[in-house]
């Protein structure tokens, strides 16, 4: 097999963000763009020589072509083995599991998660390390450094690999193993949850709609929900992964999964509605007439996890990203376990999970997961909910109400100002940053600031420090506002504003969150003069 060394000039801007390198698909398709990033990844991990990898993606446009390039580059760089999902498909949590199960050196996941797919939409590449989790910041920084000085890449001159047939083949000395993307993941799920109890739940007439949003969880949900668990055919909708996600936006939230939300709020609502995103790591949970915010879902799952076999012994601890609401902190306090607060990005949970400090983690951005893999896991969250519903035998709405009656409710909402000019977003952010020290004591629209800071994380396991992780402002009366610039966008800047108002166990838990949060929103707008500064009268997306 001939290995070519192709000379190149470094490409600017190949800096991994919150979750790998995300760019417009056409950018990834430019000559050498993907190749140079992949070579930089290999260089950053000390070369691919003799190493094994898992490779797969969410099936979006360019997925299969990108995999062919990666296979030839892995062979060109002397890798010993690559495990690939059939047809190039692997959900992010399934890829994480395969890395751990097969003890590979790492994996490459091709996805832009919840962002749309297609030649004019988004593509992405993420490298995961041997624990199955996203590369930590030190590794992503060295990838970026490599991209800045890369002068050549290596690629094997080899034939296109048949990704449709399960089995082993060779490219030079490198073994390529095409695997069923679902089988091992399904077995893992069966080991965590009481499948008999969930089967009985469905057999007893429990109804559900799982919206795979034309993305990667379709085959997984079909095999597990309709196959192993006996849910009626048709429970999983939009189940065939398509290259452009049916022209949609595969983001499981009330805005992008609106048809499911409408169904769940109607007379015809099944007992449970759920959805997952492009690459299968996010989830949305909605009961009959009751949307469960990701922050509440994390708290509820933590409070009830002992009802599922894998968590019967209790949780070691809980972790949440900083902008996630404090609902799970109250559960941790009740259980007498630690709750860790990390920066946004699943990679920050890795050390805590590896050290056995936490069992369950979650983020406001619709991610929940546990120590079974090192990624968030959409279907896992749905199955844990199903296991809890099978044990508790109550509607989601009642479970929520009982939870709030016990712990109080953290009303929560996120405002996203998308694709704003970077200058305007940065200026707003920097102005607020400069004001933090003087905010306490000031009153905005009737609310008094009692504390303000910029979040820095000191990793308790490896001692690393991550600064500049978001601005936090607390108000008297249990309100908090957090400001962050998104790290996953591909156009301009996206300002995220996270709004929260705690109401204790005696308070009113039945309000519309937008009503409960009105005073906090007014205080936030007055404090930042956001509308004038960004030239926006409303956020693009409210979740």
Contacts with ligand G6P by CB under 6 A lie at: 18-19, 113, 321, 344-346, 363, 365, 367, 486-488, 496
Q: Which is nearer to Zn ion, 186 or 282 (CB)?
A: 282
- The least CB distance from residue 126 to ligand G6P, in Å, is 9
Residue 290 vs 328, nearer CB to ligand G6P: 328
Q: Which of residues 250-289 bind Zn ion (CB under 5 A)?
A: 277, 279, 281-282
Would you give the binding string for Zn ion spanning residues 282-321, x where CB under 5 A is met?
x---------------------------------------
Quote the Cα angle for 64-69-73, to 5°.
Answer: 145
Residue 281 contacts by C-beta under 8 Å, 6 or more apart in sequence? 91, 92, 93, 113, 346, 367, 369, 375, 376, 377, 378
3 burial type by CB count under 10 A (0-12 exposed, 13-18 middle, 19+ buried) = middle
Which partner in ligand G6P, Zn ion, none is near 363 (CB below 5 to 8 A by kind)? Answer: ligand G6P
Reference 71, options 87, 57, 82, 61; nearest CA is 82
Which of 173, 230, 235, 224 lies closest to 203, judged by CA?
Answer: 230
**Binding partner at 18 among ligand G6P, Zn ion, none, C-beta below 5 to 8 Å by kind:** ligand G6P
Per-residue binder mask for Zn ion (CB under 5 A), 138-177, x = binder: ----------------------------------------
User: Quick one: what does residue 279 bind among Zn ion, ligand G6P, none, with the CB cut-off 5 to 8 Å set by partner type?
Assistant: Zn ion
CA dihedral (128, 130, 131, 135) in degrees, to 10, reads -30
The answer to whether the CB of 88 falls within 8 A of the CB of 160 is no
35 binds, among ligand G6P, Zn ion, none (CB under 5 to 8 A by kind): none
The one of ligand G6P, Zn ion, none whose footprint includes residue 85, by CB under 5 to 8 A per kind, is none
Query: How far is 185 from 380, CA to CA, in rounded Å?
Result: 10
Orientation angle between helical segments 422-435 and 518-528, nearest 10 degrees: 100
| Least distance (Å) between residue 328 CB and ligand G6P | 15
Q: Is 142 a catalytic residue?
A: no
State the minimum distance, in angstroms, from the CB of residue 260 to ligand G6P: 20
Query: Which residues face 338 on adjacent strands?
Result: 317
Q: Please give the residue whose beta carbon sits closest to Zn ion in the complex.
A: 113
Strands 272-276 and 208-211: parallel
Is residue 363 involved in binding Zn ion (CB under 5 A)? no
Nearer residue to ligand G6P within complex by CB, 111 or 147:
111
Q: Give dist(CA 417, CA 404) in Å, integer.
A: 30
Q: 345 touches which of Zn ion, ligand G6P, none (CB within 5 to 8 A by kind)?
A: ligand G6P
Least distance in Å: CB of 92 to Zn ion? 6
> What does 367 interact with, of Zn ion, ligand G6P, none (CB < 5 to 8 A by kind)?
ligand G6P
Q: Which does 344 bind (CB under 5 to 8 A by kind): ligand G6P, Zn ion, none?
A: ligand G6P
Give buried/exposed letters for 58-67 (b at 16+ CB in 10 A, else e).
bbbbbbbebb
Q: Is 52 or 321 the residue whose CB approaches ligand G6P more closely?
A: 321
CA 205 to chain centre: 31
CB contact at 8 A, 488 and 400: no
Find out whether 469 and 455 touch, Cβ atoms under 8 Å.
Answer: yes
SS3 string, 336-389, reads: CCEEEEECCCHHHHHHHHHCCCCCEEEECCCEEEECCCCCCCHHHHHHHHHHHH
Q: Smallest gap, in angstroms, from Cβ of residue 416 to ligand G6P?
A: 9
* Of 86 and 490, CB closest to ligand G6P: 490
Query: How many CA atoms are closer than 13 Å to the CA of 448, on its beta-carbon side?
Result: 4
Whole-Å CA distances, 446 to 412, 472, 478: 19, 18, 14
Query: Encoding tokens for residue 117?
Result: 């797919």
Residues in region 68-127 near Zn ion by CB under 5 A: 113
CB neighbours of residue 327 within 10 Å: 28
Tell me how far, at minimum, the Cβ of 295 lies from ligand G6P, in Å. Answer: 12
Catalytic residue among 19, 91, 113, 325: 113
Which of residues 238 and 496 has its CB atom nearest to ligand G6P in the complex?
A: 496
Nearer to Zn ion, 238 or 282 (CB): 282
* Residue 242 vs 321, nearer CB to ligand G6P: 321
What does the block give as tokens for 356?
A: 């056995």
> Whole-number minimum distance, CB 175 to ligand G6P, in Å?
30
Q: Which residues are catalytic?
A: 113
Interface contacts to Zn ion, rule CB under 5 A: 113, 277, 279, 281-282
């Amino acid at each position: 097999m001939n290995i070519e060394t192709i000379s190149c000039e470094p490409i600017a801007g190949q800096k991994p963000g919150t979750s790998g390198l995300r760019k417009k698909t056409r950018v990834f398709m430019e000559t050498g763009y993907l190749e140079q990033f992949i070579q930089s990844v290999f260089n950053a991990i000390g070369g691919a020589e003799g190493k094994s990898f898992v490779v797969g993606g969410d099936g979006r446009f360019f997925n299969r072509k990108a995999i062919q390039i990666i296979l030839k580059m892995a062979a060109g760089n002397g890798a010993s083995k690559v495990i690939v999902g059939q047809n190039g498909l692997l959900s992010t949590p399934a890829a994480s599991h395969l890395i751990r199960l097969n003890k590979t050196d790492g994996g490459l996941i091709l996805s832009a998660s919840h962002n749309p797919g297609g030649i004019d939409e988004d593509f992405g590449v993420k490298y995961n390390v041997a624990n199955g989790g996203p590369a930590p910041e030190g590794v992503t920084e060295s990838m970026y450094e490599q991209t800045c000085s890369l002068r050549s890449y290596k690629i094997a001159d080899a034939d296109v690999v048949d990704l449709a047939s399960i089995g082993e083949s060779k490219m030079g000395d490198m073994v390529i193993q095409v695997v069923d993307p679902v089988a091992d993941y399904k077995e893992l799920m069966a080991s965590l949850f009481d499948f008999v109890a969930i089967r009985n739940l469905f057999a007893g007439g429990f109804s559900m709609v799982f919206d795979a949003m034309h993305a990667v969880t379709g085959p997984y949900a079909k095999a597990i929900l309709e196959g192993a668990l006996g849910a009626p055919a048709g429970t999983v909708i939009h189940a065939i992964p398509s290259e452009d996600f049916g022209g949609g936006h595969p983001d499981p939230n009330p805005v992008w999964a609106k048809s499911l939300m409408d169904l769940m709020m109607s007379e015809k609502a099944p007992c449970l509605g759920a959805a997952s995103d492009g690459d299968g790591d996010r989830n949305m949970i909605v009961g009959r007439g009751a949307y469960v915010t990701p922050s509440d879902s994390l708290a509820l799952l933590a409070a009830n996890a002992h009802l599922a076999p894998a968590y019967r012994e209790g949780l070691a601890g809980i972790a949440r990203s900083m902008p996630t609401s404090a609902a799970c902190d109250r559960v941790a306090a009740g259980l007498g376990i630690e709750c860790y607060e990390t920066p946004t990005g699943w990679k920050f949970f890795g050390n805590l999970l590896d050290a056995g400090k936490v069992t369950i983690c979650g983020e406001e951005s619709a991610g929940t997961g546990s120590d079974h893999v090192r990624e968030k896991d959409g279907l896992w969250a749905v199955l844990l909910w199903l296991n809890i519903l099978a044990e508790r035998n109550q509607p989601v709405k009642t479970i929520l109400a009982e939870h709030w009656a016990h712990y109080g409710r953290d009303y929560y909402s996120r405002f996203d100002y998308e694709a704003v000019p970077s200058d305007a977003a940065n200026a707003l952010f920097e102005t607020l940053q400069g004001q933090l020290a003087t905010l306490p004591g000031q009153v905005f629209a009737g609310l008094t600031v009692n504390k303000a800071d910029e979040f820095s994380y000191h990793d308790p396991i490896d001692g690393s420090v991550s600064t500049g992780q978001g601005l936090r402002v607390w108000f008297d009366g249990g309100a908090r506002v957090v400001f962050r610039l998104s790290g996953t966008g591909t156009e301009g800047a996206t300002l995220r504003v996270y709004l929260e108002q705690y109401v204790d166990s005696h308070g009113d838990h039945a309000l519309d969150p937008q009503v409960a949060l009105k005073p906090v929103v007014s205080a936030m707008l007055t404090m930042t003069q956001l509308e004038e500064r960004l030239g926006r009268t409303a956020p693009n997306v409210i979740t």
